């Protein structure tokens, strides 16, 4: 295992080339459910600088990652080489969720592909960068995308996506608040309580 000071060009090129990565998060509760989810639709991951990366998060059948990030921010992502030279890269860090209802969303989302059903951008400050040999990861070849998720949400339209998130993304399996489908309007600065 090698530790790195930062996400250098070699690491950046490696992770941005991968078709899938794995996101691990956990709630604080000792008996809470630890989660791992795949991510990596085309054009949805980017290294922003030496210590920051982000991904565009599409609406999904659950919302564990968002719930855990909102509660405690801890996150690890893992990339594996399935072809070419062996490698496994992990970024440990602290993530925040910028949802489609937040002010900073359009600027961040503009960096990524236009994914139907996009619900948030997750921005992660990386605290630990490591890689390891990857000798045990099998060689596999990439055949292509399934082209199911995008069309599924495109067919639903904006209102259908909202309704889906309200039903499926409101809480984690432990009951933590996850995606706010309709956040209360924020009080303007100076408003009475």
Task: List interacting residues with ligand FMN (CB under 6 A).
Answer: 20, 35, 37-41, 57-58, 60-66
Residue nearest to ligand FMN (CB): 60
Integer angstrom CA distances of residue 68 from 35, 124, 129, 145, 163: 9, 13, 21, 28, 22
Comparing CB distances to ligand FMN, the nearer of 37 and 76 is 37
Q: State the minimum distance, in angstroms, from the CB of residue 59 to ligand FMN.
A: 6
> Rounded to the nearest whole angstrom, what is the least distance from the CB of residue 65 to ligand FMN in the complex?
4
Residues 6+ apart with CB under 8 A from 134: 80, 81, 86, 87, 88
Q: Which is nearer to ligand FMN, 4 or 92 (CB)?
A: 92
| Eight-state DSSP code of residue 114 | -
Residue 6 vs 106, nearer CB to ligand FMN: 106
Q: Least CB distance from residue 55 to ligand FMN, whole Å?
A: 7
Q: How far is the CB of 10 from ligand FMN (least distance, A)?
A: 23
CB of 1 to ligand FMN, least distance (A): 26
Gap between the Cα atoms of 88 and 145, Å rounded: 22
- Rounded to whole angstroms, what are the CA distances from 23 to 76, 85, 92? 6, 22, 10
Question: Would you say 20 or 34 has its CB closer to ligand FMN?
Answer: 20
When the beta carbons of 11 and 60 are compared against ligand FMN, the nearer one is 60
Residue 91 near residue 126 (C-beta atoms within 8 A): yes
């Amino acid at each position: 295992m090698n530790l790195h000071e930062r996400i250098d060009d070699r690491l950046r090129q490696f992770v941005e080339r991968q078709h899938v990565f794995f996101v691990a998060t956990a709630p604080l509760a000792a008996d809470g459910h630890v989660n791992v989810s795949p991510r990596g639709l085309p054009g949805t991951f980017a290294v922003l600088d030496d210590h920051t990366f982000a991904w565009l998060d599409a609406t999904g059948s659950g919302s564990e990652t968002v719930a855990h990030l909102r509660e405690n921010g801890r996150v690890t992502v893992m990339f594996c080489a399935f072809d070419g030279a062996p490698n496994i890269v992990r970024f440990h860090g602290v993530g925040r969720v910028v949802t489609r209802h937040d002010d900073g969303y359009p600027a961040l989302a503009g960096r990524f592909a236009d994914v139907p059903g996009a619900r948030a951008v997750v921005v992660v400050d990386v605290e630990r960068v490591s890689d390891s040999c990857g000798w045990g990861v099998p060689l596999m070849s990439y055949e292509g995308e399934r082209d199911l998720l995008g069309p599924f949400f495109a067919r639903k339209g904006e209102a259908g996506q909202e309704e889906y998130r309200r039903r499926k993304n409101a809480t984690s399996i432990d009951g933590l608040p996850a995606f706010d489908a309709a956040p209360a309007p924020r009080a303007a600065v100076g408003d009475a309580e």
